Amino acid sequence: MPELPEVETIRRRLSELIVGKKISNLEVRRARSFQGDSSLVLNQQILAVKRRAKLLQLQLSNGQTILVHLKMTGQLILVQADGNRVGGGHPTADWTASLPSTHTRVIIEFADGDKLFFNDQRVFGWLKLADPAAVAAEFAKYGPDINDPGLKLDLFKLKLSKTRRPIKLALLDSALVAGLGNIYVCDALNLAKINPVRPANSLKSAEIELLFKAAQHVISRGIALNGTTFDGKFVDVSGFAGHYQDEALVYARENQPCKNCGALVIKIRQGGRGTYYCKGCQI
C-alpha cells in the first residue's frame, strides 16, 4: 500500500530496468484495471518513468503516457526473460510462487521477453493510457507535491489557513498538498508536536513552519529508507523491503512510548482512518 516514498522507490528501480524497452503486447485481465485503448501502446518504446504525487508515468515514444496508480494494494513486478523477478508494491503470497496469479490484472510484455505484471488484490488501482492533455487533466486536481522544491512555505500556510478541518485530514487531502499518506502524516505531526485534531486554521505561523519542515523530513527519510514495509506488504523493485518502519515515530506504535517524550502513543479515528499520536507532547 504505497505512499509517495514507496512509489518513488519503485520508480527509481523500474526506471533502471525498463527504460528503452519496446512493448510487444499488453494483456488486460480485469477490464476495470486498464482505461483507454491498449492497442496504442504496441511497438512503443518506454522513454522514461516519472512520478508525480503517488502516480507513476511510463512515457512512450508516441507521446502517450501509461499512468499507474497503485492505490492500496497495487504492485508492479518485473519478471525478466531469464526468470529473475523484481517487483514493487504490496505483495500477496500468491505471486511469490508464480505469475500471472489470481490478482494479476494487467501484463505488459516487452520485445526482449521481460514482462511487467500489475497485480492488485482490491482492484482500486489502475493503469490509464493518456495523451498529454489527459495527463495534464489528471494532475490538475492535485496540489503541489510536499517534497517539490517549488512548494513554498507561504503557499502551504495560505492553504492551511483556509480550512478548519482537523490538520491531519487537511494534510491527507491531495488537492491541498499531494504525496502525504497516513503513515507520514502521523509522523510529521508528531515530529512537529502538533495535535492531529486541531483545526488547520488554528495553527500559528511558527507551527506551520515546523510542520512543513517535519513533513518534508519524514518523506525524505522514507525515500532514503526505500519506503515502509509492514507485515511484508511492500517490497521495492528488487524484492527488498523498505525500512522506514524501523524508525517510525508514532505510526503503528499504539501503546508504545513516544520517542520524543516517553508518553504512550494512542490511536484514534479520524475520517474513518486510524490516527496515531502522543498526548504527551502533541498538544
Partner DNA sequence: CGGAGTGTTAGTCG
Partner DNA sequence: CCGACTAACACTCC
Residues annotated as part of the active site: 2-3, 54, 273
- Is 274 an interacting residue with respect to DNA (CB under 7 A)? yes
CA–CA dist 253, 209 (Å, integer) = 26
- State the nearest-atom distance from the C-beta of 174 to DNA, in Å: 5
Residue among 126 and 212 whose Cβ is closer to DNA: 126
CA–CA dist 42, 85 (Å, integer) = 23
- Is 3 an interacting residue with respect to DNA (CB under 7 A)? yes
DSSP string, 128-141: EEE-HHHHHHHHHT
CA–CA dist 68, 233 (Å, integer) = 19
- Is 182 an interacting residue with respect to DNA (CB under 7 A)? yes
Cell matching residue 234: 511492500
First to last CA, the chain: 30
- Please, where are the H alpha helices in the chain? 4-18, 93-97, 132-140, 153-161, 167-172, 182-191, 205-224
99, 123, 155, 210: which one binds DNA (CB under 7 A): 123
69, 168, 193, 221: which one binds DNA (CB under 7 A): 69
Backbone torsion region of residue 22, taken as left when φ is above 0, otherwise alpha when ψ lies between -120 and 50, otherwise beta: beta
- State the nearest-atom distance from the C-beta of 78 to DNA, in Å: 20
- Is 38 an interacting residue with respect to DNA (CB under 7 A)? no
Of 35-43, 116-124, 150-158, 209-217, the segment contacting DNA by CB under 7 A is 116-124
- Is 71 an interacting residue with respect to DNA (CB under 7 A)? yes
Contact set for DNA, span 187-226 (CB under 7 A)? none
52, 115, 233, 253: which one binds DNA (CB under 7 A): 233
What residues form DSSP beta bridges with 119?
Answer: 75, 104
Binding site for DNA (CB under 7 A): 1-3, 6, 32, 53-54, 69, 71-72, 90, 92-93, 102, 121-124, 141, 162-166, 169, 172, 174, 181-183, 228-231, 233-234, 269, 271-274
